[in-house]
Every structure is written in C-alpha cells, then in structure tokens.
Amino acid sequence: MATAGGSYESNVFVNCPFDSDYHPLLRPLLFTILLLGFTPKIASERSDSGEFRLAKISEFIRGSRYSIHDLSRIQARARGEFYRMNMPFELGLEYGCRLFGGQPFDEKRCLILEKRPYHYMKALSDLSGIDIENHNNEPISLVRQVRNWFVETVGVRGAPSATAIWYAFDNDFMADFYERRQAEGFAQDDLNMMPVPEYVDFIRDWLRMIRPGA
C-alpha cells in the first residue's frame, strides 16, 4: 500500500475538471486509485494563493509515474462559451515530460478518458491513433476503465473486479462515509463540497478499517 505522501512509482496525477458536475465521477475515480494501492495527485489537493498553479501542476506531473486525463468536459456547453483547454494543456505537459524529460520520465504511463468514442477528435485531431477509453459519463464505466488500465498497463495483479470495486464504493464506503460524517456534525453541503485532501483521508481511513494491516 502506498504511503499518504506517495512516491514517484505510486503517484497518479489526475487531470480532470473540478466543478461539482464532475464529483460523481471524481469520487469513485479517487476511490479506485486508492483501493488499488496508489496515491492520487490532484491540483485541488493543495491551495496556496501565493503558489503559481502551473508550477504546482508541473511538480505533480514530474513526481508521478502514472497519470489519468479526463477530456470529457472540454467541449463548450453553451453558445459563446470557450472550450475548456486546461485538461488538454496538462495532457500536453505530460507528453512533453515523457518525450523530452529523459529517464525516468520516458517510462511514464497515462490513461486518457473521454465521454464517447472519438468525441475528442473534433478538438484534438493530433491524438488520432492514440488509445483513448470512454466512460459515457457513467461512474461504474469509469471505474471499469481505470481498473482495467491498472491491470493491463501498470501491471497490477490480483485486483478486485470492476463490479466489486464499484459496490465497495457505492454500497459500502459512501453509506459509511455519510453516516459517520453526519454523526460528526457534517451537513450535506459540507460533504458535497468537501476538500479533496479531506475526502482522500476518509477513503484511506476506511480502507485501513476494512483491511487491517494493509
């Protein structure tokens, strides 16, 4: 099991939207990474108004052998809106680090996620020919894609099935999470808008509770 701080070999940089609409996908994504023994690194885990955001993201990319990039929210949703280019930009930083950074960065591995097959091509035709997985905005599909990538590409063995991970998250962890936190005085809004590091700590504590000594 990775430590709370993680290491280059266990860190997974997560490049995704941070809005509330994405929470139903982000939460099982973080749960899956932690359950499989890895440490998610995400820009929202650290908030310092004096820190340059790009420097923080670059630090996380250089400090993570693995990365997951969800491009499912790059499209503008209303007339007059711009495409959301932060995620493709951070994916470009990841590729640049891998291609030009030398060792050990030339052995970095990444998973790119999309909502529907080939949907990204309308904005990022340069990614033609790259293996990209889609989750159709369904949390259980995202869990399956992430779990299978860890098995196929990262080399994880003995991983629970995607269905087992989803049930552990949706039926067991989330029920316990809400029950325990509400008993501790957390209101619904507190839980819905909980900072990522706090949420990650609760996942870690729960995993230790159900797997003593892991």
131: its two tokens: 């293996």
Task: State how far the alpha carbon of 121 is from the alpha carbons of 56, 111, 131, 138, 187, in Å.
Answer: 28, 16, 12, 21, 42
Query: What pLDDT was estimated at residue 120?
Result: 55
Could you tell me the pLDDT band of residue 213, with boundaries at 50, 70 and 90?
low
Query: What pLDDT was estimated at residue 36?
Result: 97
Could you tell me the pLDDT band of residue 87, with boundaries at 50, 70 and 90?
confident
Higher pLDDT, residue 52 or 185: 185
> Among 59-63, 77-81, 163-167, which stretch is predicted with the lowest mean pLDDT?
77-81
- pLDDT, mean of residues 116-137: 67
93: its two tokens: 């930083």
Q: How much is the mean pLDDT over the chain? A: 86
User: Tell me: the pLDDT tens digits for 128-142?
Assistant: 556 788 899 999 999
Alpha helices in the chain (DSSP H): 23-35, 53-62, 86-100, 139-149, 162-167, 174-183, 188-192, 196-210
C-beta separation of 46 from 63 below 8 A:
no
Contacts of 209 (CB under 8 A, 6+ apart): none
- pLDDT, mean of residues 140-154: 97
